[in-house]
Each structure stands twice: as C-alpha cells, then as structure tokens.
Chains A and B, each alone.
Chain A
Amino acid sequence: MAIITIPTPLRQYAAQQREVNVSGSTIDEALGSLTAQYPELRRHLYNDNGNMRNFVNVYLNDEDVRYLKKGNTTVAEGDTISIIPAIAGGSAVAAANIAERTADQSLSHDEILRYSRHLLVPEVAMDGQKKLKAASVLLIGAGGLGSPAALYLAAAGVGRIGIVDFDVVDSTNLQRQIIHSSEAIGTSKLASAKARIEGLNPYVKVETYETFLTSANALELFKDYDIIADGTDNFPTRYLVNDACVLLGKPNVYGSIFRFEGQASVFYAKEGPCYRCLYPEPPPPGLVPSCAEGGVLGVLPGTIGLIQATEAIKLILGIGEPLIGRLMLYDALSMRFRELKLRKDPDCPICGEHPTITALIDYQAFCGVTSADEGITEVDISPLELKERLDRGEDLMLLDVREPHEWDIAHLEGATLIPVNDITERAHELSTADDIVVYCKAGTRSARAVQQLQMLGFRKLHNLRGGINAWANQVDPTMPSY
C-alpha cells in the first residue's frame, strides 16, 4: 500500500480526499489503482491519446519519476506519490508584439468616425483600433482567399497590408476574386488589388510584391509582418509558408478550398501545432486537384477568406479563442462547420523537440513536383505540332482524361474520354501500339496520365502542352476555353 496525495484542484474528482491509498508495485500500477477508484481523474491526468499531460508530473517521495524508471519505478509500502502540475502560461505573442507599438498610434477625427462601430465594441474600442492600425498582415496571393481577406482587413483598419502575387487578372478569376473588376482583365492582380484597397480605405498602407514566393525570398518578405495569411492553392508554397512562419515565429492564418469544401486554421508553432504537425508529408503530386483543375463554388473562398481575416483580427487584438490547435472544416452543401483538434507533434521535423529542418528547403522537390517542361519533355507535343500531324493524316489516338462535364464544354474531334482517375483500370481499352496524344484542360492531369501509362508499359505517348485551352487559343479560336 502506498499513498497518493491529490492536489487541491483534483480533490473534487476524488471524493474530496487529500490522500488516497492505492495498491500496486509500480508507479503505473499505483496510478491505475487511483484512476480505477476515481475514473473522473483520468481526463485531467491523461490526454486523449492516453499519455500523461505534459504539464503533469509524478513524484515518488521527493523524486521526479522521469529521472527514475518512469512508470516502471518500484513503489514500496509506505511510499508517498505526489501528482504535481508544472504551472506555465504567458501572453498571446502576436498581440503583445503589436501592443508594444500602439503607444505611437493616434486616430484622426476622420478615422474615429470611420471606425466608430469598432470603437463602440468594448473588446475593440480605442485600444484595439490602435492595435489594428499598428499591425501588419501579409497575404500570400490576391486570389479567391486573398480577395475577401484583403478587403475586410483593409476596411477594418489594419495599418499595413502586403500582398505577394505575380499573376494577371483573367476573366475566369472574376467568379470569386472579388477584389478585381472586369476592367482589370489583363492587368496585374497587384495593381488591381492595391487600387481597390486604396479606394476603400486611404489610411491603409498597401505594399505589393510582384514575385513568386520562393525559399530565397520568403524570410525576407515575411520578417516585417506580424501575421501571414496563406491563400495559396499549391502544396510547395503551403509548406514554404509554414516553414518560413515557424522559423520566424510568426502565426500563419491558413485557408484552403475545393469545390464546396474549405478548411481554415491558425498554425502558430509558438503556441500550438504547425502545418507539418497536421500533414508531415505532401500528397503525391496530382492527387489533390487545384481549383484551376477541379473547380470551386465562387462564394466558398468568401467564407474561408473571411474566417482567415477574422482570425487575423483576433490575433491582433488578442481577444477570443484563436483557431490555434483546431482545424475548421466547412461544407457549403450541407452548410455545416466541423472542428478537428490538432496536436503539436513532438517529432515534427520543424517545430518538434528535435527539429531536422532549420532552414528553408527546395519545396518543389519536397512535393515531388516537376513542371510540364521538366522530365516529360520527350513526350510533349504543342497544339500547333498536333494540328500539323493530324492535317498530314497521321494516325494519332486522342485521349481526353478530363471529367465528363468538362468534355461537354469542349473536346477534340475523334477523342476518347477516360477520366484520369480511371486510367489504370481502363488501360485495357488502349493499345500500346497506338501513338497516343493525352490531353486535359491545361496539361497537369494529362502529365499524370502519361506517367501512369508509362508505368503500365505504354511507350508511344504524347502530352498536349497547355491542354485543350492552349488548343483553343492557338489552333481553334471557335472553341471556348474555361
């Protein structure tokens, strides 16, 4: 028989006793005996995985059992076992950093009027509005997610907004990227976004970076911002944003979208898990389609982008419960939000206890991405070359690997439709003797189909560079691109 002393907060779960007699010859057995007598204690001592909570310590007489034999430490008759919490805490870092700069801020009469509805909210008020003015947020991408986030952050009075993008506005963007107007088609997304934000709120300083985000420039771009909002649609950039944020100790307000579903979280390694704790490895290239490939309901990025903006504002103000350690899942069709708990992975290669990643890496290689120009050049065929060869009467088999609803928009005459996900199953419908030209919308899925067919032994394969959209642009102007 040994005695376990119960700390005051846990006595309510142990019939108000200060001490409980337990049986067992080891620490594990003694604790087992305790929780068998008082099952409610379990939740406060162990996490959902059954491991002892990391701030709970067990002492045998005066010694921490971690330095003895942990759970296997022998317990003798008359020993005293103590359950002792380590008490830790601290302030919200992002808010604390911003608060330091609010002393220099003041609001003009015009700003006070503009932000009047914020100033009436006790949790925001003058203090909070000054924090917003002192704060800076960097948006990665001025697309579906970046558009609504930028507009609302600017309207809310975030003092400095940076945007990284290199794209030009095209008409397919306008279905959801509400920061851009029809007149902006063909012009730079950054110029369009900057003009719109400045029209909305002249007190916001907009900084634009017309560049690809890379391992070479990410740390330099991020370092002068309080919060980074990731609105990208590809895995290499997502891992790059995560790693740069972890290395710089900045919160990454994350959002992603596909068709009718979205996800959002705040990855902030100082206070919780990072993106790598959730997804240690990227999915195989091509497995998860982007919006350009799979499509997206236009209003969806509005919902997710505004969750990102909300979380950024909460972090700046230091109010509420941030979406740290939680992954919000949104399904527009069923109109349901679900929440998954995320845990910090102690073995995480970048934010774990023994990090193996201490600098930015080659994210394209990490995600196994080869661009259409790399690796498969020998099988590439341009739309004009294909046209010439068809005109010459060459016997080419045209294989369309898109989805049936895309086939209905436009397809090449005489083509056969096998969606890319069915290729392996339906490869028997094809002949290795044929010269096969594979195409999709823009060339990514067809590249994947080519790889799969190569693995099955097909050799006479060609990938239509730029897909059917390039064909429409270069060969057949009567065909719609989408």
Chain B
Amino acid sequence: MAIKLSGELIKAIARHSEAAYPSECCGIMLGEDEGEQRRVVALLPQINQSEADEQYHRFLITPEMMLAAEKQARAQRLDVIGFYHSHPEDEARPSHFDREHAWPWYSYIVVRVRDRKYDKMASWRLDDDRSHFDEEDIIED
C-alpha cells in the first residue's frame, strides 16, 4: 500500500501543522484511488472544530464539513481518500482515540511536530477488523 503526494502538498501539510501549533491541525485529502496505490490531488485544510481547550490533543471535522468535501470531490470527479492531522510534541502514529474514530480504507496521515517545527509524517490505514492501523508508504511525486 502506498499513497502519492506531490512535494508541494507535503509542504502544505507541514506548514499547516506548524501554523496550528500547539493545537492539532486537520484537513481532508481528495484524490484518486487506483487499488494498491492512491494519489492525493488536492487538500482541503479544515478549521479544527474540537473544543478550544482540547485542541492541543484533539481534532474534529464535522459531518457538515465532510458533506461539503464529498460534494466538492464529486464535482471534480475525485474521492475523499483520507485525512491528515498533527500530533504536537507526539509521535507520527495514530493514537487509541484515532482508532476509535476511524474507518478502514481511508488514509490517515499523522504529522509529528517537535519544538514548533514539522518533524515527520506517516500514513496509516485501519485494518478491516478495526483492531490496528497498518503503515503505508508515502511516495513523493
């Protein structure tokens, strides 16, 4: 499994994660799925809708935001293929909380921010039985 992003899009996610620090940033990824590989074509950065004092460790994209993103994707003949969010001062891997709130198939990119600076990112997919995430390769193209 792999997900392709252009260098531009990777930079955009990194910038968003630094701008949101110390809160978590979040966004929706539109793209094309070709089975084993998928490609991100556009990012829809979102405003974190979780409670203000919880944003250092929580993000929320509301169903209304999702509905709008689904419509936008359809109009461009794309799909919502996943989401990105940051973990300020924490690992680039999904938390238990992330797993409870995830669906299989989607790609979840988690960004580690250290000392206010973008550090690294990793992409994950939830297993079909919802028990764990598998890491997928991020390919810059």
A interface list, Cβ under 8 A from B? 5, 7-10, 12, 44, 55, 57, 59, 62, 64, 82, 84-93, 95-96, 99-100, 103, 271-272, 318-319, 321-322, 324-325
Asked if B45 is at the interface (CB within 8 A of a chain A CB), the reply is no
Q: A55-B101, A87-B83 are in contact. List 18 more A-B contacts (CB 8 A).
A: A8-B79, A9-B105, A12-B105, A44-B104, A82-B70, A84-B63, A85-B66, A87-B60, A88-B60, A89-B108, A90-B57, A90-B97, A90-B98, A92-B95, A96-B87, A96-B89, A96-B90, A321-B132
Interchain CA distance A334-B10 in the complex, whole Å: 52
Interchain CA distance A10-B28 in the complex, whole Å: 17
CB under 8 Å from chain A, chain B span 23-51 = 24, 26, 28, 33, 50
Interchain CA distance A88-B46 in the complex, whole Å: 12
Cβ A91 vs Cβ B57 within 8 A = yes
Given contacts A7-B80, A90-B58, A92-B95, contact A85 B63 (CB under 8 A): yes
The contact sample of 5 A-B pairs, CB cut-off 8 A, is A86-B66, A88-B58, A90-B95, A95-B90, A272-B100
Point out the residues of chain A lying under 8 angstroms from B100, CB to CB. Answer: 271-272, 325
Would you list the 4 A-B pairs with minimal beta carbon distance, nearest first?
A9-B105, A89-B98, A90-B58, A91-B90
Select from chain B the residue with minimum beta-carbon distance to A92: B95
Select from chain B the residue with minimum beta-carbon distance to A322: B96
Point out the residues of chain A lying under 8 angstroms from B83, CB to CB. Answer: 87, 89
Cβ A92 vs Cβ B103 within 8 A = no
Interchain CA distance A396-B102 in the complex, whole Å: 69
Main secondary structure of the interface of B (DSSP, over half): mixed
Interchain CA distance A85-B100 in the complex, whole Å: 12
Given contacts A8-B79, A44-B103, A91-B24, contact A86 B60 (CB under 8 A): yes
A264 to chain B, nearest CB (A): 16
Cβ B67 vs Cβ A62 within 8 A = yes
B129 to chain A, nearest CB (A): 9
B66 to chain A, nearest CB (A): 5
Among A5, A91, A319, residue most surrounded by chain B Cβ atoms (within 10 Å): A91
A402 to chain B, nearest CB (A): 45
Cβ A89 vs Cβ B105 within 8 A = no
CB under 8 Å from chain A, chain B span 56-104 = 56-64, 66-67, 70, 79-81, 83, 85, 87-91, 94-98, 100-104
Cβ A91 vs Cβ B87 within 8 A = yes
Cβ A82 vs Cβ B67 within 8 A = yes
Cβ B96 vs Cβ A92 within 8 A = yes
Select from chain B the residue with minimum beta-carbon distance to A84: B63
Cβ A57 vs Cβ B63 within 8 A = yes
Select from chain B the residue with minimum beta-carbon distance to A9: B105
